[in-house]
């Protein structure tokens, strides 16, 4: 009996899952075009529809997917010229599903029936166990004690084994059911009923059919970028690859549909914003504003055999040409590959870490407009990690993590403060640092060494520096050295910094003085 149960369950699950991915022709035709936004799509279709006439009225019917928004429907007659549209109405209707979706619903129904059967079997087995458990309490009333004991033991063992096997089969069936239900929602969305659109027609001449062109917004569609960024410091370039994960849940497979990707969500606001009153007044201290989140970007197309970019007023569109896109699937579609010229340096900030970071600086001729998306970073064939990447403009800095073979060590040779005296005396604080940068690679490279420069916020405070060698660049907040290191070479940078302030000034010497304590 146990073997039969397993065989039955295995056959049911096998039959239910078999053929799920096999494509079947559906009742709907694939849309001719689809412009896919990050969270929806505008879909274009063209159909020849039978004209249904009644006294004083003619109309055609259009079925739309459950996740279509009928309020966004734009429709016009193509043929014949004697037809014009008088009104458009819509209502929910039973779905006009493809065979693939119908087959999936049948498999879900069969799994639900199998779960009911397994639950009933479990209850029967639990009742059987309870029966034999109760017999142990009455064993003294029976004549054949030893024989009954063996019978109870065998029956309970078999019942418990079959119960455990049935519970395992139920767990497997529940998992398969959950998987199929999730798959169905990916294909069709949570709403099961489709839309039936009635289009009223004014017809000046009799027509059996009318060819209608229409488009609408379809929810449950979208795309997201996926990038691969590889550092090629020996070639002086960064290799960039862009793909897009694309999906749609119309309930039908798209075949030969011309697909384009838009970089922004469609705007649905029709009314302009109200102008606020311009009030000028003293304001309380609120701190510095946080960073602005700018996510408006797309890429330029590669010159050969690449998707074509079209810049529009509000967003950019990448035309991917004709594609097949099955409902519920999330294929990765190739967008483009580029190789950007880059200047590589190892960035050292020895006040914070003795490790070097590989830095690539881009200064391109062609403007890049790349939307925010997850990128995988590579160097020397190894994956470094993942993080969000975006690029708008021509200049960009990209970091590729630590270079363990380039280091910088900062040693504080002396530090201290001068005593405060009478009002006119000065108070001082000084540091004497020695930084040693080392290249342990077997090839030459350039390092960029950055150290903080004291920023004075009172004209009575003075700063004196003795730097050897002199920095290549000096900003308000930073000293910068550009050092070329041969294989195995070390170079030193000496920094002497002295700060002076009036003796009666209560002064904060900054984080370096607190670090010295």
Domain definitions of the chain by residue range: 2-21+99-187, 33-95+193-219, 406-516
Measured distance between the N- and C-terminal CA atoms of the chain, rounded to whole angstroms: 80
What is residue 193's predicted lDDT score, i.e. its pLDDT?
A: 75
Give 71-137 as a DSSP string. EEEEEEEEE-TTEEEEEEEEEEE-----HHHHHHHHHHHHHHHHHHHHHHHHHHHHHHHHHHHHHGG
Higher pLDDT, 410 or 515: 410
Of residues 396, 359, 379, 341, the one with CA closest to residue 228:
379
SS3 for 433? Answer: strand
pTM of the model: 0.63
For the stretch 251-262, pLDDT in tens is 788 999 999 998
| Mean pLDDT of the 362-372 span | 89
Q: CA-CA-CA-CA torsion for 127, 131, 137, 139, nearest 10 degrees?
A: -160
Is 227 in contact with 42 (CB distance < 8 Å)? no
What is residue 17's predicted lDDT score, i.e. its pLDDT?
A: 35
| Mean pLDDT of the 135-153 span | 55
What is residue 231's predicted lDDT score, i.e. its pLDDT?
A: 95
pLDDT for 433 beyond 50: yes
What is residue 295's predicted lDDT score, i.e. its pLDDT?
A: 25
pLDDT for 359 beyond 70: yes
User: What is the b/e burial string over 243-272, where b = at least 16 CB atoms within 10 angstroms of the residue's CB?
Assistant: bbbbbbbbbbbbbebbbbbbbbebeeeeee
Give the least confident one: 177-181, 200-204, 333-337: 177-181
Tokens of 29: 């035709």
Higher pLDDT, 34 or 98: 34
Higher pLDDT, 480 or 286: 480
pLDDT for 20 beyond 60: no
pLDDT for 212 beyond 60: yes
Higher pLDDT, 367 or 81: 367
What is residue 5's predicted lDDT score, i.e. its pLDDT?
A: 38
Local confidence band at 317 (pLDDT 50, 70, 90 cut-offs): confident
Local confidence band at 438 (pLDDT 50, 70, 90 cut-offs): very high
Average pLDDT, the chain: 77
| Mean pLDDT of the 330-350 span | 92
> Could you tell me where the beta strands, DSSP code E, fall in 204-248?
209-219, 222-232, 237-247
pLDDT for 439 beyond 90: yes
Higher pLDDT, 431 or 113: 431
Higher pLDDT, 137 or 225: 225
pLDDT for 77 beyond 70: yes
Higher pLDDT, 262 or 115: 262
Is 507 in contact with 463 (CB distance < 8 Å)? no
Higher pLDDT, 149 or 263: 263
Whole-angstrom distance, CA of residue 380 vs CA of residue 230? 8
Q: Which fold has domain 33-95+193-219?
A: Elongation Factor Tu (Ef-tu); domain 3 (2.40.30)
Higher pLDDT, 127 or 258: 258
Whole-angstrom distance, CA of residue 284 vs CA of residue 313? 39
For the stretch 49-70, pLDDT in tens is 999 887 778 899 898 888 889 8
Local confidence band at 186 (pLDDT 50, 70, 90 cut-offs): low
């Amino acid at each position: 009996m146990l073997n039969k149960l397993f065989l039955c369950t295995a056959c049911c699950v096998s039959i239910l899952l078999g053929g799920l991915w096999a494509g079947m022709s559906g009742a709907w035709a694939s849309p001719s075009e689809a412009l896919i936004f990050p969270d929806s799509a505008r879909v274009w279709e063209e159909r020849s529809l039978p004209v249904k006439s009644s006294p004083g009225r003619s109309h055609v019917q259009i079925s739309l997917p459950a996740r279509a928004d009928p309020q966004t429907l734009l429709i016009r007659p193509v043929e014949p010229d004697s037809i014009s549209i008088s009104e458009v109405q819509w209502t929910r209707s039973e779905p006009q599903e493809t065979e693939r979706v119908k087959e999936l619903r049948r498999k879900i129904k069969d799994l639900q029936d199998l779960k009911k059967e397994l639950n009933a079997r479990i209850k029967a087995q639990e009742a059987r166990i309870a029966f034999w458990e109760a017999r142990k309490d009455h064993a003294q009333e029976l004549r054949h004690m030893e024989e009954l004991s063996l019978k109870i033991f065998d029956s309970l063992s078999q019942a418990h084994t079959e119960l455990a096997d049935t519970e395992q089969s139920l767990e497997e069936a529940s998992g398969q059911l959950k998987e199929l239900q999730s798959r169905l929602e990916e294909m069709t969305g949570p709403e099961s009923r489709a839309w039936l659109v009635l289009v009223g027609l004014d017809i000046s001449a009799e027509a059996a059919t009318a060819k209608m062109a229409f488009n609408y917004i379809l929810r449950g569609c979208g795309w997201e970028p996926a990038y691969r960024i590889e550092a090629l410091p020996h070639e002086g370039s960064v290799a960039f690859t862009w793909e897009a994960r694309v999906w749609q849940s119309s309930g039908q497979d798209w075949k030969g549909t011309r697909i384009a990707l838009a970089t922004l969500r469609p705007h649905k606001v029709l009314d302009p914003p109200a102008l606020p009153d311009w009030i000028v007044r003293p304001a309380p201290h609120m701190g510095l504003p946080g960073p602005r989140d700018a996510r408006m970007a797309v890429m330029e197309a590669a010159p050969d055999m690449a998707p074509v970019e079209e810049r529009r007023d509000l967003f950019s569109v990448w035309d991917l040409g004709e594609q097949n896109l099955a409902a519920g699937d999330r294929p990765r579609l190739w967008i483009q590959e580029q190789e950007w010229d880059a200047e590589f340096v190892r960035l050292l900030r020895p006040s914070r870490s003795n490790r070097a970071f590989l830095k690539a600086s881009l200064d391109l001729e062609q403007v890049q407009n790349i939307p925010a998306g997850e990128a995988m970073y590579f160097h020397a064939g190894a994956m470094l990690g993942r993080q969000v990447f975006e690029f708008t403009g021509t200049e960009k800095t990209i970091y590729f993590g630590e270079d363990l073979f380039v280091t910088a060590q900062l040693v504080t040779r002396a530090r201290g403060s001068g005593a405060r005296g009478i009002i006119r005396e000065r108070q001082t604080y000084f540091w004497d640092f020695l930084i040693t940068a080392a290249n342990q690679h077997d090839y030459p490279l350039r390092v960029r060494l950055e150290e903080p420069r004291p920023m004075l916020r009172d004209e009575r405070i003075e700063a004196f520096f003795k730097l050897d060698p002199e920095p290549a660049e000096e900003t308000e907040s930073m000293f910068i050295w550009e050092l070329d290191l041969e294989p195995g070479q070390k170079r030193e940078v000496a920094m002497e910094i002295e700060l002076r302030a009036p003796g009666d000034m209560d002064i904060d010497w900054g984080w370096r003085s607190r670090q010295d304590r």
